[in-house]
Amino acid sequence: MANRPFLAMYTLDYIRDTEDLNLEENGAYLLLLFSYWNRQEPLPNDDKKLSKILRISEREWRKVKPSVMRFFRVEGDLIINDRMNYEIDRANEKSQKAAESARSRWPKPINDSTSVPDAFALRSDMPTVSSSPSPSPLSIQTKEKARPTFNENDPPFIMAKLLYTEHLKWQPDFLGKNGIEKTLQTWASDIDKIVRIDGRDIESVKRAIEYAQSDGFWQARILCGSKLREKMDMLLSQLVGNKFKPKREEPAAGKYDPTKPGASVRKI
């Protein structure tokens, strides 16, 4: 079974090609198309198997078969829909291009001077205490497939380490929810989305992290990669605002300006 939950459905083409089909024939044809897409391959040329796919008896299938089968061609023990083959090939090509683009997004590691204290290496060896039961191997495999794994030279992972290192400066006993390594991988995944999906460059991510961890308000609020992504726009806008905000000028000691109402001499 292919991991392709989305099928492009061109309604105008479908209605034009099937306007002579009745309700039962339409339903049978759609179910066969859905099964074709789900399998990512032609369907068996077998009345028993096709009726099982359609959840009807073989007798009911033979009743609608002539109208439905005109959309397929038979090749040996398979029935083939050329339009569905085209959509499958196009989806696979698009998926392959997206994967190649993702791999080429980080061609070189960032020359970053960020370093993690020696305690970082030691803390990764410490066991984490959990009050919940240990997950089954199946659930672990599912989680591993759901997230990409970043190595230490990948920019998202470098930024995750920077966030962690800055966090240690004011909370030295911070371990993360699932241990340091899994926490860093989770944060790296969130930071990767900031760049890949949200369109931010990695330098902006670095500036946002450094600003958030040096600001008393944001320090206690940006505690993970997902929160950094959520507040990214606000952090960058404040960075720009602080850059151009004029500095407040203190009046000179003992200086009096009689043109300003209520002006008084500043006490020394």
Pair (123, 231) in one structural domain:
yes
When divided into structural domains, the chain yields a total of 2
Q: Is residue 237 part of a domain?
A: yes
Q: At what angle do helices 23-39 and 11-18 cross, to 10 degrees?
A: 130
Are residues 49 and 122 located together in one domain of the fold?
no
Task: Determine the pLDDT at residue 92.
Answer: 85
**Digit-coded pLDDT (tens) for 104-153:** 776 555 555 554 444 444 444 445 555 555 555 544 444 445 567 888 88
pLDDT at position 254, please? 56
Please tell me whether residues 45 and 157 are part of one structural domain: no
Higher per-residue confidence, 31 vs 137: 31
Of 246, 166, 177, the C-alpha closest to 214 is 166
Residue 249 lies in a domain: no
pLDDT band at 6 (very low <50, low <70, confident <90, very high): confident
Residues of the domain holding 183: 118-127+137-244
The pLDDT tens digits of the residues spanning 14-28 come to 999 999 999 999 999
| Cα–Cα separations (whole angstroms), residue 82 to 70, 85, 100 | 12, 5, 27
The CATH number given to whatever domain includes residue 41 is 1.10.10
pTM for this prediction: 0.39
CB 47 within 8 A of CB 58: yes
**Residue 153 in domain:** yes
pLDDT above 60 for 191: yes
The verdict on 175 and 237 lying in the same domain is yes
With respect to residue 113, please indicate whether it lies within any of the assigned structural domains: no
Question: Does residue 97 fall inside a structural domain?
Answer: no
Same domain, 172 and 238: yes
Kindly give the pairing relationship between strand 43-44 and strand 78-80. antiparallel
Same domain, 147 and 237: yes
The percent of residues in the chain predicted with pLDDT above 70, rounded, is: 70
Distances (CA, A) of 22 to 26, 63, 66: 6, 12, 12
| pLDDT band for position 62 (cuts 50, 70, 90) | very high
- 240 and 159 share one domain: yes
266: in domain: no
Task: Measure the CA–CA gap between 236 and 250, rounded to whole angstroms.
Answer: 28
Residue 184 CB contacts under 8 Å (≥ 6 apart), including other chains: 157, 160, 161, 164, 176
67, 158: one domain = no
Predicted pLDDT of residue 258: 57
Please check whether residues 71 and 159 belong to one and the same domain. no
Residues 122 and 234 both lie in one domain: yes
Q: Which residue has the higher pLDDT, 46 or 264?
A: 46
Residue 35 lies in a domain: yes
Q: Is residue 95 part of a domain?
A: no
